[in-house]
Each structure stands twice: as structure tokens, then as C-alpha cells.
Amino acid sequence: MFTERSGIIVWVNDLKAAGKHLEKYGNVHFISKKLHYAAMYVYASRLDETVKQLQRLPFVKKVERSYRSEIKTEYNSNIPDKTRFYTL
């Protein structure tokens, strides 16, 4: 039902051009006016070819891939819970 998406950060020179042209490559989530970057999501199956296409655009400085999907987000603690010793 849901397709896998990957996040990328696109560093740009021209924000107006970024706002107009980046929509056709994926979902633009956020554009920072102060730091001149756009956060967007693209299909994970077409990530490499989308990054190559984005790097060819004249207003793009650099494209960075997000590693959020590779970070472990489930944590387990082997240390016993000590909160019961500190109750009033």
C-alpha cells in the first residue's frame, strides 16, 4: 500500500527556481530561505537516477542523501529500572 521513500537534501543557489522545478522529481517537504536548501522525499527505487538528474540542474550546489532509514529506532535497555527505589 505504501511505497518506500527516501529523504534527500538539495542545496540550491536560487530558491525561486528550486520552488518551481523540484516538484517534478519528488515531494518537496520544506524549503529553507535562510540556509538555501530543500528537504524532499523521492521513491527509494529511483533514488540514484533522481539524484543524478538533480545534480545536473544549474541551480543545485549539492545533493545529500538522508540516512534516517538506516538508523536503528527501536531501543531496548538491559539495565534494570531504578525508578521504584526513588518513590516517596
Tell me which residue range forms the domain holding 45.
5-69
* Number of domains into which the chain is organized: 1
Would you state the pLDDT for residue 66?
Answer: 87
Domain membership flag for residue 40: yes
Each residue's pLDDT tens digit, 15-50:
999 988 999 999 999 999 999 999 999 999 999 999
Domain membership flag for residue 45: yes
What would the mean pLDDT of 11-16 be, rounded to a whole number? 94
For residues 81 and 58, give the distance between their C-alpha atoms in angstroms, rounded to a whole number. 55
DSSP string across 13-41: S-HHHHHHHGGGTSEEEEEETTTTEEEEE
Each residue's pLDDT tens digit, 63-72:
999 888 778 8
Q: Would you call 2 helix, strand, or coil by DSSP?
A: coil
We report the CATH number of the domain holding residue 48 as 3.30.70.80
- Identify the H or E element spanning 52: helix 47-55
